[in-house]
Amino acid sequence: MTTKAMANIITSTSVPKLDSYFVDCLSDSSMADIFGVLNTPDFSVFPGFCDVHVHFREPGFSYKETIATGSAAAARGGYTAVCTMPNLNPVPDSPENLKAQLDIIKRDAVINVFPYASITVGQKGEKLSDLDGMAGDAVAFSDDGRGVQDEGMMREAMLRAKALGKMIVAHCEVNALLNRGYIHDGEYAKAHGHRGICSESEWAQVERDLKLADETGCPYHVCHISAKETVSLIRDAKKSGIDVTCETGPHYLVLDDSDLMEDGRFKMNPPLRSKEDKASLIEGICDGTIDMIATDHAPHSAEEKAKGLENSAFGIVGIETALPIMYTHLVKTGIISINKLTELMAVNPRVRFKLPFGRDFSVWRLDEEFTVDPSEFLSKGKATPFSGHKLSGRCYATVKDGKLVWKA
């Protein structure tokens, strides 16, 4: 079979030619059965997706997720590369602690897993981690889950990261503005008596960090943006030449606080914000202000997510449903093209984070509809606000470095 028989191959000028991947892979006898089945015009092929923001919870919290279960879930969602956040135990703030995670990755991961190292010791914001000692093994530096509160500490981190040729990846949140909130400070919170998280808690720290990035010249990436003010700040920063990129998640592009229910599966940080915020995020996707889509896949146990909006843990899962959500709500509706979605999910993350493309791809039936059933997830986490939603797009195979890592 030739690549011509594979209909609707999705490519981009930034992606190495996929034809050679297929030719090489088809010579592998282990591929023969899958491609024999998929030799119809009903299937589409994408470069392997790359998610720069996931929580695989190991070491330290393997009851929530492991490298094995998280990477298997990623492969099922068409991902062949992910970057894992450092809120672990031990926190990867030293070469020894980072090695504990690297050893598990080497043993159990079925796709490429690139770990972050923490910006500060214990993610406490008080003292820089051993950035020099971890630079060779860490994809970048982040204290995700916590904003670095002290401006001087962030300046010092940026200067050191710049010297090491590394990027600062920031969860932006001003603790003093949180007021013990747990959903967006909007209409739903007011109507139902919930404590809200104001948008300024996000954009104020982004504003501070953009000034520091301009001052230091450090490459800077903003995690999971959710507020319209943040979009505007980053748009202006790019126009002024600051080396900044950002991500948002599928849930922020599809849902808003009017979709909230009294259920822990709607609780994430940052929270679902207003319709106006969602519209600004979509505009940012369309005009290139937002560079990539990342899931912030954050699994918890069923017990931790069964305590309502106020008391459940922050975080939802999403790595198995990201492409169907984005295809259904952004591509089928004509908001963006399929090639634009490929850039957001596969190309731009790898280019910005300097990650290899490899002989990676995934095979999909985009016209196949299904209803989201969390019990079918390979992830240990089952909490998703999209439970019961009808989506289009099912992954039938994922190939990483020429090897089959997922087959439906």
Q: Any idea which architecture 48-338+371-407 has in CATH? A: Alpha-Beta Barrel (3.20)
CA 14 to centroid of chain Cα atoms: 20
24 is catalytic: no
CA distance 181 to 177: 9
CA 241 to centroid of chain Cα atoms: 25
> How confident is the model at residue 35, as a pLDDT?
57
189 burial (CB, 10 Å; 0-12 / 13-18 / 19+) is: buried
CA distance 379 to 14: 31
Residues 6+ apart with CB under 8 A from 367: 42, 392
Residues 6+ apart with CB under 8 A from 226: 199, 202, 248, 252, 270, 271, 272, 273, 277, 281
Alpha helix locations (H) across 186-318? Answer: 187-192, 200-216, 228-239, 250-254, 275-287, 308-311
CA distance 210 to 222: 10
Residues 6+ apart with CB under 8 A from 85: 53, 54, 55, 116, 142, 144, 145
> How confident is the model at residue 402, as a pLDDT?
87
Paired tokens of 92:
């990867």
Say how many Å lie between the first and final Cα of the chain, rounded: 21
> How confident is the model at residue 36, as a pLDDT?
55
**Regions of the chain with pLDDT less than 70:** 1-41
Q: How many CA atoms lie less than 13 Å away from 242 in the CB half-sphere?
A: 25
CA distance 200 to 230: 9
Q: Which of 164, 249, 266, 246 is nearest to 205 (CA)?
A: 246
Return the number of other C-beta atoms located less than 10 Å from residue 99's C-beta: 13
> How confident is the model at residue 24, as a pLDDT?
52
CA distance 117 to 171: 14
**Residue tagged active-site, from 51, 93, 296, 360:** 296
> How confident is the model at residue 96, as a pLDDT?
98
DSSP per-residue string spanning 90-119: S-S-SHHHHHHHHHHHHHH-SSEEEE-B-S
pTM: 0.93
Residue type, 380: K
Paired tokens of 146:
């916590």
> How confident is the model at residue 9, as a pLDDT?
41
> How confident is the model at residue 42, as a pLDDT?
82
Residue-range domain boundaries for the chain: 48-338+371-407
> How confident is the model at residue 28, as a pLDDT?
53
Residues 328 and 393: beta-carbon distance below 8 Å: yes
Within 120-194, strands assigned E span 141-142, 168-170, 183-184
User: Residues 61-83: pLDDT tens digits?
Assistant: 999 999 999 999 999 999 999 99
Q: Which of 16, 14, 25 is nearest to 1 (CA)?
A: 25
Q: Which of 189, 192, 223, 190 is nearest to 206 (CA)?
A: 223
Residues 381 and 263: beta-carbon distance below 8 Å: no
